[in-house]
Structures are given as structure tokens and as C-alpha cells.
Amino acid sequence: RIQEFVRGHFYGHLDFNLDKTLYFFIAGRYEFSNKGADVFLEALARLNYLLRVNGSEQTVVAFFIMPARTNNFNVETLKGQAVRKQLWDTANTVKEKFGRKLYESLLVGSLPDMNKMLDKEDFTMMKRAIFATQRQSFPPVCTHNMLDDSSDPILTTIRRIGLFNSSADRVKVIFHPEFLSSTSPLLPVDYEEFVRGCHLGVFPSYYEPWGYTPAECTVMGIPSISTNLSGFGCFMEEHIADPSAYGIYILDRRFRSLDDSCSQLTSFLYSFCQQSRRQRIIQRNRTERLSDLLDWKYLGRYYMSARHMALAKAFPEHFTYEPHEADATQGYRYPRPASVPPSPSLSRHSSPHQSEDEEEPRDGPPDEDGERYDEDEEAAKDRRNIRAPEWPRRASCTSSTSGSKRGSVDTGPSSSLSTPSEPLSPASSLGEERN
């Protein structure tokens, strides 16, 4: 559906190959600087320059999904989707007439005369459809009519950097100032479906206590870019030896200047564009394996520990927070996801919805370099690369008055904060799963 939307949005200027098009996106509240939209736009301008100078055939379509004040859909945007549907109906009409004549010719046992398969009426219909795709202006950047167009931060920055969706640009920008919905007449997809259809989520936040958007991308097997000023980025940096190998790019916004951060983000985007389709498939498989790190059975320990700590600080006369070091844990159980991770050579996907250009021919060669991809071996390498996490300290919240029920608060089952009695190595985890 994303490709169908792009076909309609860029009608008249669809001079790029959709099979070599990558879809990037940023989504969230409209906080221009906090969400890193300013850094993302600047990096897109630099990426556009690099792709044009190096003669790359890749095209990048960047979506900005941030709600803003609007009054209606853009007329040009709606017209584009109407033109696309009209072209589809015209093609189907001609196809049916062609198929009927071909069937009748073969039915009598003769080869059809190709010069008579289409009459003048068919050619006239197709010429009218082609004429309807002519457009003098560039495809619109914004899909809606903005109430404060002249002062909108995203549109103002786009005017400054000059990304107007021209034919010469290798980076196209689409600003969708409304949250996605499957009932939308413009882009009828839910957010989850939209994320699975994209290739990369970009979230260069300058402030993010945790950051659910990159976490959602990780669970759905979509690579993403986060920062070391977000809780998610710091968490992944702590638990993964090489986050970028797993599709988690950590942008340094803590110790670098704004210009250096833009340059680093540009290098991330450009290196992602240089990847082959097979490399992206392998990276997506690795990204989805990280979903265990974001499971509640693991993250819940941190929430419970924070809750007990808060109780101890709020009611110091009744509760105490006693730091308790976890038992020695030499390894971390990092099993494969519940769904079977695919092997690209078999053209199967661990995610139910995969981008169309992430498909690989079933009968194609094992690898571009002639090497076969061993999923089990890669999974074993991933588990060795995952650092053993330091379990949060167990909180013991006890009443200060022995035998008194006054001031007691239910802190939940103590077992939820305990650590495993026996360490589980990656090898034992794999053996248990196979058994």
C-alpha cells in the first residue's frame, strides 16, 4: 500500500525505480527539536547530495508522521490518488479486451494478429490516461493543507534545504501531519502495517526518557536509529556489543556537536543505502532476535525495582530499600524468537509482513558471493555477542514496625524480582529450545 500511495503521490514525476527505493520514517509528537526532526532533515539534505554526486540508483522516500494543525487534505495529493486509480481501471479494461480476443483466437486454433489485438478506441483510451498523468508542478511535500504553512518548522526547514521532490533529487520528502489510520482515504494503513512496510525508522531524539518507537521497530524486525540521549539507545548500547550489526544504530548526541551528529547520521543513512537486499534481509532477522531483550519477563524486573525504590523514598518510615546483589550469572538466556527465523535462501520471513523489495527469488543463487547463509550459525554468533546483563538489585521493602499491619503496602510477589537460581548459558538455551 505504501508503494501504491507513492505511485499516486509522484504521478507525472515517477522517474525512479520503486524496486530500488528505500522508505525511511520518523513518527511521534510534533516536537521539532526534541524528536530530532531538525537533525533528520539536515541529514537528508546531505544524503541527497551524496547520492547525486556518486550517481546512486537508490531513491529514498522519507515520511514525517507528526500531527499538526490542518484543515483538509491537499487537493494535489487527492488528485494523485484519483489519477492512479483511473490508470489502474484503464489498464484493467484494456487487459480484459486483449485477453478476450486472445482467448477467441486460440480457441479456433490460430495465432492472433498482434496488430489487430488493440483497436483505435483502446489507443485513444490509453493516450487519454497518459495525458492525465502530465503535471507541471512538483509533487507536494505536505499531504494536507497546513493552517500555519509559513511558520511550520518542518516546511520552513524544507524550504531552506531545498528538498522539493524534484526529478533530480534522490531523496523525496512526504510530510503527513496526521496519525495513520486504516480508514484514511489517502494512506489507508495502520501504524504497525506502515512500520513493517518501511525499511528504516529514524529517531534522532535530543530528549527521550525511553522511546517506544524504536522499540516497536525492533520487535517488528525493522532497523532503527536511536541516540545515546534516549533510554532505549542507552539500554541497547549496554546489552549489545555491536548494536549496528543488529540494526540498532546509536547516534551520539551527548558528546558531539550538532553538526557532527548530522554528519554521523548522514553516514548511517548512506551506509544503509549501500547495503544489498540480502544484507538488509540478514539485518532484519538479527533485529527481530533482539525482541527478547524487550520482553516484559526481562524489562519487568526494572519496573518492579523502580517501584520498590519509589516506595522506600516515599515512605521511609515504613519501607527500606535494601540493595541486594544478584546471584552470579555467567550467561544470559537469549533464545530464538517464538517464530522461526528465516533463511534468506529459503525466502521465508520471520515477520508476517515484509517489504516487497525484501523478497528473494526462491530459485536464485545462495548468495551474491556464492556463500550460503547459515541461520543457526548466525544465531549462535548473536547469542555470544549479547552481553550478560546485570540484573537489577532486589528491593526488600519491609515494614519498620514488626507485627504491625499499619502502613503496609502490597509490593507484589517477591519471586518477580529474584534472579535465576542456575545460570543458563547460550548453549543450554539452544538445547532446551530444540528439545
The string of DSSP codes covering 289-328 is: HGGGGGSHHHHHHHHHHHHHHHHHHH-TTT------PPPP
pLDDT for residue 127: 84
**Quick one: 70 and 210 in the same domain?**
yes
pLDDT for residue 381: 62
**Quick one: 29 and 62 in the same domain?**
yes
**Quick one: 91 and 50 in the same domain?**
no
pLDDT for residue 88: 86
**Quick one: 264 and 307 in the same domain?**
no
**Quick one: 373 and 391 in the same domain?**
yes
- Compute the distance between CA of residue 244 and CA of residue 124 in angstroms, rounded to an integer: 53
**Quick one: 11 and 112 in the same domain?**
no
**Quick one: 38 and 157 in the same domain?**
yes
237 pLDDT more than 60: yes
Q: What is the dihedral of CA 262, 264, 269, 273, to 10 degrees?
A: 140
What is the band of 372 on the pLDDT scale with cuts at 50, 70, 90? low
Q: Which of 274, 299, 314 is the last residue of a domain?
A: 274
Report which DSSP code applies to 241: S
* Of the candidates 213, 401, 225, the residue with the CA atom closest to the CA atom of residue 294: 213
Residue at 282 is within a domain? no
**Quick one: 90 and 117 in the same domain?**
yes
pLDDT for residue 431: 38
- The 10 Å Cβ neighbour count of residue 361 is 7
57: its cell numbers: 540508483
pLDDT for residue 18: 92
Model pLDDT for residues 320-369, shown as the tens digit of each residue: 887 654 433 333 433 333 333 333 333 344 444 444 445 444 444 444 44
224: its cell numbers: 532503527
For residue 120, the cross-strand partners are none
The tally of domains found in the chain comes to: 3
What is the band of 382 on the pLDDT scale with cuts at 50, 70, 90? low
pLDDT for residue 34: 94
pLDDT for residue 4: 92
Q: Which pTM was predicted?
A: 0.74
Sign of the four-CA dihedral 194, 290, 27, 161: negative
Q: Are 67 and 180 in contact (CB under 8 A)?
A: no
- The 10 Å Cβ neighbour count of residue 404 is 10
Range of the domain at 85: 76-132
206: its cell numbers: 535530543
Residue at 368 is within a domain? yes
pLDDT for residue 396: 47
In 103-126, which positions are buried (b, 16+ CB within 10 angstroms) versus exposed (e)? eeeeeeeeeeeeeeeeeeeeeebb
The string of DSSP codes covering 374-393 is: -HHHHHHHHHHHBPPP-PPP
71 pLDDT more than 60: yes
75: its cell numbers: 487537493
pLDDT for residue 62: 97
Model pLDDT for residues 26-57, shown as the tens digit of each residue: 999 999 999 999 999 999 999 999 999 999 99
Question: Across residues 409-427, what is the average pLDDT?
Answer: 36
Which range, of 108-122, 227-241, 355-369, averages the lowest pLDDT?
355-369
Question: Across residues 9-36, what is the average pLDDT?
Answer: 92
